[in-house]
Structure 1
Amino acid sequence: ESTIFYKALEQDLLDVEFLTQSPCLVYIEHGRETITAHNNTTYTLSPGSAALLPAGLLLHSNYANTDGLLKAYLVFFGKDVITHFLRNQHKRSSPSRQAEGVCPIDGSESLNDFFRSIQRSASQGVASAEFLNVKLLELLHLLSFQNQEGFYSCLSAKGKATTGKRNIRRLVEDRQTLRLTVSDLAHLSGRSLSSFNRDFKAQFGMPPKQWLINQRMQVAHQRLLSSTASVGDIALELGYENSSHFIKLFKSRYGMTPTELRG
């Protein structure tokens, strides 16, 4: 359903994960916001700039109160408005390909004027479904003239290729995920095992299995030196039910057993 939200934030709002259920335009009036896509691509929005988010994207948003109050508009485009708009746009463009990510929108005085007009209308109590639809169609036409490349694929209902995919780097930053298997991580990330292996290696330069072993051994090394937990307990914390296998991996990495490390 189409709607326009206005948000004003004074406090930091970090690492907020959200799924776009419908195409959404984010317009920054004041402050700065960073949006991170599932493939770890980041988009920093400054005053006057905007981004169109296709339906079906799982994203992370970060706002730190370093540039003062964040003031932003969130414009959600309902199916009826999009259908009405696209029906008359065949001569201009045809959204034949799927949207792969966020569509940055160039800032302009026309875009600024549009949101100032929205603010004036709201202050005067002008509000109806008909008025909203007219304004959203006006906004879509404005955006299409300014940003044709990628705009239609972002707006089109076909832009759902990445539905459910989570940001891999954000996912594995949580130490709790170290005890999971590669298959578990693939499932949590919203990918098939082969897609997860491919995307992971592209970001980290190594297969996820090797990365997990490296990270587990680093954590084990820290835990062995900083705690009195038994070797068996530390192995279990990191997902190793077989202590002998854990000890073998540890020795391969550090050239000594966990017991030898502790002296």
Structure 2
Amino acid sequence: MEIINFYKFVEGNPLFRQMSVDDVLFTAYDCPLEGSPVDYSTEKNYFCYVFVGGGRWKTPTDEYILKAGDAAFLKKGVHRVFKILNGDFCALLIFMPDEFISSVLRNETNLFINETLEEQTDSVIPLALNQSLIHYFNSLMGYFSQASPPSKSLLKVKFKELIVNIATSGHNPLATKCFKEIAASGKKSLKLVMEENFIFNLKLKDFAKLSNRSLASFNRDFVKTYRTTPGKWLKGKRLDYAKYLLETTDLNISEITIESGFENTSHFIRTFRERFHSAPLAFKKQRLIKV
């Protein structure tokens, strides 16, 4: 499946109302979600607050439905999105680089605490909205209706406010954990990057970039971590995931090819047969007979 660079598509696009300051992009994304599913990549984390319509975001471990009045924090990387409601999709998007989030937490000494939570954060983190956050998103949307845009300094304060609000409210522990992980180290967890993005047909240089590493450093750290090469690991991980989908879903072979990150159906069938000594369709039929 083709991966669309969502951030570059939105940035500077005259179709969308937008403002920016210090590499933070704030935009009203107002258009239909064409096709289903669509894989979107972004080199920056972003907040999404839905005003109209809705969508379904799928990760290797879960699915998240966002409808009008819902919000989420989405890590930089690739996200698979399905349209779920008729009509247009309108959302407020705030793209933030790791550096901005880190600077806010580092300057707020009471927030930068090395604590651990047992929960593992996914690439999509739904936000629990209190009245303060709801008012915040609506107040940002109001800037687009003003005769003149707000000052850069005011926008910067507003963007910092969002991070501090979430990190101090106590209502969003997973988002807070994610913020602190971003601030704690220049290099992202390699395991987390791979587990969040293996279903997407990315090149190794893309995985390296997501983990904030050079390609050489990525390959070196990968072998240390997994005791195998990235190519072998990705093939095995995608095959295991495809097997899981065959066993637990009603998806057809073409859909499973896309869902598990293979380039095309013929490549998937050939690779699956080599690993499991059975074609995917035959494997699925055998499972149904046993059940």
Normalised by the length of structure 1, the TM-score is 0.60
Tell me if 1:62 matches 2:85.
no
Bigger RCO (CA 8 Å, 6+ sep): 1
Contact 1:32 1:70 in 2 (8 A): yes
Counterparts of 1:92 and 1:238 in 2: how far apart (Å)?
A: 49
Contact in 2 for aligned 1:52/1:154 (Cα 8 Å): no
Query: How far did residue 102 of structure 1 move?
Result: 1.3
Name the SS of the counterpart of 1:14 in structure 2. coil
Give percent identity, aligned residues only. Answer: 19
Alignment correspondent of 1:77: 96
Matching residue within 174, 178, 181 for 1:154: 178
- Figure out how many residues of one structure are paired with residues of the other and give that number: 196
Tell me which amino acid in the other structure corresponds to 2:241: D
- Secondary structure of 1:142's aligned partner: helix
User: Within 5 Å, which residues of 2 pair with 1:137-152?
Assistant: 137-144=160-167, 145-152=169-176
| 1:32–1:63 Cα contact (<8 Å) kept | yes
Q: 2:56 aligns with which of 23, 31, 34?
A: 34
- Structure 2 stretches of 5 or more lacking a match? 1-22, 183-187, 202-228, 255-264, 271-277, 283-291
Is the CA contact 2:52–2:68 (under 8 Å) kept in the aligned structure 1?
A: yes
Give the secondary-structure state (helix, strand or coil) at the position aligned to 2:122: coil
Judging changes above 3 Å, is the alpha-carbon distance between structure 1 residues 205 and 65 closer, same or farther for their aligned structure 2 residues? closer
Give the deviation of 1:114 after TM superposition: 0.9
* Matching residue of 1:165: 198
Structure 1 238/31 Cα, relative in aligned 2: closer, same or farther at 3 Å?
Answer: closer
Look at both structures and tell me which one has the larger radius of gyration over its CA atoms: 1
Q: TM-score, normalised by structure 2?
A: 0.55
Shift of 1:5: 1.4
How far apart are residue 2 of structure 1 and its match?
0.9
The structure 1 segments of at least 4 consecutive aligned residues displaced by more than 6 Å after TM superposition are 187-190
* Contact persistence 2:56–2:83 (CA under 8 A): yes
CA drift of 1:65 comes to 4.5
Residue 45 to residue 194, structure 1, CA distance change in 2 (3 Å) = same
Report deviation, 1:27: 0.8
Show CA shifts across 1:111-148 (max 9, x none).
22112211222322233432222111111122221533
Offset of residue 93 of structure 1: 4.2
Kept after mapping to 1: 8 A contact 2:54/2:65: yes
| Matches of 2:189 and 2:171, distance apart in 1 | 17
Structure 1 segment 68-217 matched on structure 2, within 5 A: 68-87=87-106, 88=108, 91=111, 93-94=113-114, 99-124=121-146, 125-144=148-167, 145-155=169-179, 156-157=181-182, 158=188, 161-162=192-193, 164-166=197-199, 191-205=233-247
Q: Does the Cα contact within 8 Å between 2:24 and 2:94 map onto a contact in 1?
A: yes
